[in-house]
Amino acid sequence: MEEVLKAELARLNSPFPRERVPLEEALSSERPGVPLTNGGFQPFKREELELLARILPSEERKELRLPILLALDPGLGRGAVKIGGRAEARAVGRLLGKEVKGGELVIHRPELLEVRRKLPTTTYYLFLP
C-alpha cells in the first residue's frame, strides 16, 4: 500500500519545478519562469511579480523563491496548506492581511482560493504524504 501511495504522490507532484528562482531574478528576466521536471516551462506573469515586489521590502525580494510552494498536508485538515520559508510566508501573509511570525504559515481554503486567484502562476501545489 505504501508503494501505491508513493507512486500516486509522485504522479500528483509531476511536473514539478526543477528549481526555484529569487523574485529579484524573475523581475529582471526577459522571460520569467522556471523549468519543470517534465521538460516544460512554467512562465510567471509580470503582474504577479510586480505585486509581490510591492508588498515585500527589498531584502525579502532577494530571499523569496518562486514559485511559492503551497504544501497540501493531510495532517492539517481538508483544504489547508502550509507555506514554508520566511519570505514566502510573509508575502502570502501580507497578501491576505495576516501577520506572520516565524518561517511558516498555514492557510485554509477561503484564503487559499484568494492566494491562487491573485498568484496563479507564481504559486505551485506540493502534495505531501
Residue 18 CB coordination number (10 Å): 14
Query: For the segment 5-20, what is each residue's pLDDT rounded down to a tens digit?
Result: 556 655 655 688 999 9
Residue 52 CB coordination number (10 Å): 27
Continuous segment of H or E residues that includes residue 42: strand 41-43
Q: 0.85 exceeded by the pTM?
A: yes
Query: For the segment 75-119, what is each residue's pLDDT rounded down to a tens digit?
Result: 888 889 999 999 999 999 999 999 898 889 999 999 999 999 999
Residue 107 CB coordination number (10 Å): 23
**CA 124, CA 69: separation in Å to the nearest integer?**
5
Give the domain ranges of the chain: 2-127
- pLDDT at residue 4 is higher than 80: no
Q: Render the burial of 25-38: b for 16+ CB within 10 Å, e for the rest.
A: ebbeeeebbbebee
